[in-house]
Amino acid sequence: MKLTGAEIVLACLKEQGIDKIFGYPGGAVIPLYDALYDQREHFQHILTCHEQGASHAADGYARSTGNVGVCFATSGPGATNTVTGIATAYMDSVPLVVITGQVPANLLGKDSFQEVDITGITLPITKHNYFVKDVEKLADVIREAFEIAKSGRPGPVLIDIPKNVFLEKATYVEKKEVNENIRTSCVENNQLIKAANFINMASKPVIYAGGGIIISDASQELYSLATKGNIPVVNTLMGLGSFPRDHALSLGLVGMHGMKEANLAVCGSDLIIAIGARFSDRVIGVAEEFGPKAKVIHIDIDKSEIGKNKGVDLSVIGDVKKVLFELSNMIVNKDRSTWLEEIDTWRVKKELKEKSFKAVDILNCAWNVLGEDTIVTTEVGQHQMWTAQNFPFKKPRTFISSGGLGTMGYGLGAAIGAQVGNPEKNVLHIAGDGSFRMNCNELATVSKYNLPIITLLFNNQTLGMVRQWQKMFCNERYSETDITGEVDYMKLVEAYGLRGYRVDNIDDLENALNEAKRLRKPIVIECILSKDDCVFPMVPPGKPIHHIILE
């Protein structure tokens, strides 16, 4: 059957089971959107306010569902507006397929209107990208792009298509065989045997659990390994939710803003079992002092991560889910009560003041009202770290945040994608006022589609994380971090046709959250906080992670 290039794109998306698209039209993709007009019953297209919002929404959809997120953008500035979203996904191994329009082939290289070399620009931040010159090859390119995005260590793929290719016709043959097992890989049995021996011999092991566990849907296998071996678990930012935070073996976040017990457990361990984690600088601090007396096992699907930031004694390359399943059957049930009791002495007991209104109180209230199935997205800054430290995530794909790139302005777009992908769930978007201002235009998207996203806006009238560093390391020289009174957020929310509440006490917050839960409509709750509130624990930059500042 003969189809236009635009029709082939949509046909291939249907092959891949895609029914959600996030995007913004423009001249070079008009043929694609014209074809979409006839396919409206097959696709839900979310029109965002900006292409960056579309790319973040596709990312949030992918992280919350485990499916590939799809984003459309036009050529030139439309394409470049997706760059931050693509880089965010690349750093956190999120499967995206971004389809951009390009000027017609006969206008390439002539500084044509809205012409830009988007494949050149995105080469360092994609797993792969394509420039499609021949409509006959378009279907195979799209199929391959999805396979690359999902396989091995996932990531974003960009396909750049000139306008003439959208309009030209080619023979299309439907291909329904979609490889569902592309993450499966063979694991060397001798490496597994060695790993099991390391674990069985260890007296003070710790599991260092990263985002690869969630990507691989291996949370149950992690639980089996940890509970059978009585091995405590620390989590990276991306690994939160991979192991239930309320379990006795859970030590929480590790690293610069990690929990005291998590950091000290790593430093006092005799074996670190790193699973789907990349030994980020924000986690390990000084590499030589991250578990200085410990042997290190690194389990990962990406061979290039082995030894990149931290030397290892044993590597196991393969799909984390399969590796952990095999490993759980090979380790022994070992009593490690002495080690666990030692760790318990490091736990910091939180003393919450009744009716106080600090970040931890706000988060506890949100957890109590909204429950464990809530999907939480954050921006980047103090509120992100408070959330990571204090929200007791129990399930995978319930915490969505920019880890590697640290993208302010990410969270609202991600919340849109998460809500579209999980319409039955509560989605809570937690933002600082600095981050919120970067992409708050996407409130129009929330309003347009009546997405019942709850935004908790932490307003301390400052760029809080930068100010905290200035307070601690720059002699309180607060350079360009004050944003006092610049925006009336309640008027802004009203302008977008949404309901808003400004609260400064727990009772009002609880009432607002219950109202939001009851109405199932978008609501913004502005929480007034002090600009002097800081995130602790904290490890100073460049220091080992046992150099913990608690207050």
Structure token digits, residue 157: 């793929």
Structure token digits, residue 113: 């209107």
Q: Alpha carbon of 44 to those of 71, 356, 409: distances in Å?
A: 12, 43, 24
- Of 163, 310, 321, 322, which one is the catalytic site residue? 163
Cα(4)–Cα(163) distance, integer angstroms: 11
- Of 7, 51, 168, 526, which one is the catalytic site residue? 51
Known active-site residue 465: yes
Cα(63)–Cα(77) distance, integer angstroms: 26
Known active-site residue 113: yes
CA angle, 217 as apex, 452 and 266 as ends, to 5°?
105
Cα(310)–Cα(98) distance, integer angstroms: 33
Cα(64)–Cα(92) distance, integer angstroms: 13
- Of 14, 39, 114, 425, which one is the catalytic site residue? 114
- Of 113, 175, 188, 201, which one is the catalytic site residue? 113
Residue 550's nearest CA partner among 258, 351, 352 is 258
Q: Are 483 and 462 in contact (CB under 8 A)?
A: yes
Torsion, Cα 94 396 517 525, to 10 degrees, reads -60
- Write a three-state SS string for 450-508: CCCEEEEEEECCECHHHHHHHHHHCCCCCCCCECCCCCCHHHHHHHCCCEEEEECCHHH
Cα(313)–Cα(307) distance, integer angstroms: 9
- Of 465, 526, 531, 538, which one is the catalytic site residue? 465
Cα(403)–Cα(411) distance, integer angstroms: 12
**Residues assigned a catalytic role:** 51, 113-114, 163, 465
